[in-house]
Amino acid sequence: MIHQPGYVKELLKKHMERTASAHEEELLMLALDLYEEEELEQMIKEVSDGLPYNDELPEELKRWKPSAREIISRSRISPLKKIRSFISSQRSYATYAATALLAILLAWIFHRPSKLEYACSANTEESALILPGVNKCKLILDNGCAIVVDSSYTGEITRQGNTVLVRLPSGVLEYKSLGRPGQVGQQPVYHTIATSRGACHRILLPNGVKITLNAASSIRFPVDLTSPEYAIELKGEAYFESPQQLNSPWHIITDYARIKVAHADFNVNTYDNRMVSTLSAGELMISTPGDNAMLQAGQQALAGHDEQNGLPGGIKVLSVDTREALSWMGPERIFIHVAMRDFLLEMERRYDLDIVNIDRASHRYFSGTLCNEAPLSELIKLLRANGLHFVQQGNTLIFSKRPQDQEQGLVSSLMPPLHEPVPLGMN
């Protein structure tokens, strides 16, 4: 009878094979009260391990996948549990350390400013959701109309003369020519595509030029190819790849210099009062009102206002390892001797953060790599591991000054060595 585990297992087997009678089902339900959860769970395991694997699911169930976002947003761990798990994790560390240190460690646990820790751990769930490089942009027409294009869009967005703008399922915005001749003598129509902070977008222009637009950037360009001089105005940062068979050269206009392109793959960064153009293939002609320079693959041109080089009006050409400048598109962002302030400014754009009191962050330099898909929680961990002190509130990081740490040079010892980028993000 049902007080015997063997009998209950028989009932379970019939239940799972869908051969149990109504009476047997009822017996099984009664039996569920007579055993502990662990015992029943073990019975279910034993019975189902003995059954052949049956993946006959209705189509609707086969396709059904819950969304990670929803799962995470629904799981909110109670503060009590958080604190408890925080303490217990410290304890497991204590056993791992020498026994003699136990008392000191325990004292340290209770003495520790757990308020700050608590504030940061409560935010972990949320910051795990904040990802960089969201595929989203804004299309602005010359009449001021703006359309926000995100993943909810696929297919045609707008038509302009003989050009149609579509968003491909892969997330690329593509301009397609309909093949009809453009009407001559019309005013050229301009489109502006802009990304906000924390976003990123790829665009394929009618002439085949591929653009990857970084966060907080915009490009403005004539939609119609027949314009006598094809020029793209750029603000922020973008990577351009141009096909080889373009008939005529085209231009990129930034606030600091003008770039003439025949065919080339190159990056242009204008975030910081200067233009940095890094060429990975082809040739470029850079010009400012007072200077001009040819750029070869593997070279970088600076124009505008640079802290080190000054260069009002001039252009400086350097030979560089282009991987660093282009790494924002790759799997990992490489930083080689970057000032903490610049690093944080980039993170502000990348994760759509607001950093308060950025000058209170350390004045050190940073070398290392950061996974380009790492959620904000990873970045926070990285910063804390490097001894930066700040309070996180959602997307806002508030830096507080801890002079004693900065004097002691505590930070630099934790920094990865120069010229040897270490993956810190995900290991």
* Interatomic CA distance for residues 224 and 207, integer angstroms: 9
Query: For residues 259 and 276, is the Cβ–Cβ distance under 8 A?
Result: no
Q: Choose between 62 and 159: whose C-beta lies nearer to another protein.
A: 62
**Cβ partners under 8 Å of residue 97, min gap 6:** 105
Please tell me whether residue 121 binds another protein under the rule CB under 8 A.
no
State which H helix or E strand residue 169 sits in.
none
Query: For residues 305 and 311, is the Cβ–Cβ distance under 8 A?
Result: yes
Q: Choose between 200 and 275: whose C-beta lies nearer to another protein.
A: 200
Q: Choose between 85 and 296: whose C-beta lies nearer to another protein.
A: 85
Contact window for another protein (CB under 8 A) among 121-129, 138-146, 246-254, 344-352: 121-129
Please tell me whether residue 394 binds another protein under the rule CB under 8 A.
no
Please tell me whether residue 303 binds another protein under the rule CB under 8 A.
no
- List the Cα angle 233/238/241 in 5-degree steps: 95
Position among 10, 117, 118, 124 found at the interface with another protein (CB under 8 A): 124
Q: Choose between 213 and 302: whose C-beta lies nearer to another protein.
A: 213
State which H helix or E strand residue 46 sits in.
helix 37-50
Between the CA of residue 205 and those of 115, 134, 139, 185, 276, what are the distances in Å? 52, 21, 14, 22, 23
Position among 9, 14, 16, 311 found at the interface with another protein (CB under 8 A): 16
18-37 residues in contact with another protein (CB under 8 A) are 18, 22-23, 26-27, 29-30, 32-37
Position among 87, 329, 339, 358 found at the interface with another protein (CB under 8 A): 329
248-287 residues in contact with another protein (CB under 8 A) are none
Tell the smallest beta-carbon distance from residue 65 to another protein (Å). Answer: 5
**Cβ partners under 8 Å of residue 424, min gap 6:** 368, 369, 370, 382, 385, 416
Sign of CA dihedral 89, 92, 94, 97: negative
Tell the smallest beta-carbon distance from residue 33 to another protein (Å). Answer: 5
Please tell me whether residue 59 binds another protein under the rule CB under 8 A.
no
Tell the smallest beta-carbon distance from residue 207 to another protein (Å). Answer: 20
Please tell me whether residue 44 binds another protein under the rule CB under 8 A.
yes
Tell the smallest beta-carbon distance from residue 347 to another protein (Å). Answer: 17
* Interatomic CA distance for residues 311 and 199, integer angstroms: 31
Contact window for another protein (CB under 8 A) among 300-308, 330-338, 400-408, 410-418: 330-338
- b/e sequence 174-197, b meaning 16+ C-beta within 10 Å: bbeeeeeebeeeeebebbbbbbbb
65-84 residues in contact with another protein (CB under 8 A) are 65-69, 71-72, 74-75, 77
Contact window for another protein (CB under 8 A) among 59-67, 222-230, 284-292, 385-393: 59-67
Q: Choose between 380 and 411: whose C-beta lies nearer to another protein.
A: 380
* Residue 113, φ and ψ in degrees, nearest 5: -70, 80
Position among 131, 262, 285, 311 found at the interface with another protein (CB under 8 A): 131
What is the binding site for another protein (CB under 8 A)? 1-3, 15-16, 18, 22-23, 26-27, 29-30, 32-37, 40-41, 44-45, 48, 51, 53-58, 60-62, 64-69, 71-72, 74-75, 77, 85, 89, 124, 127-129, 131, 133, 135, 200-202, 212, 329-332, 371-375, 377-378, 426
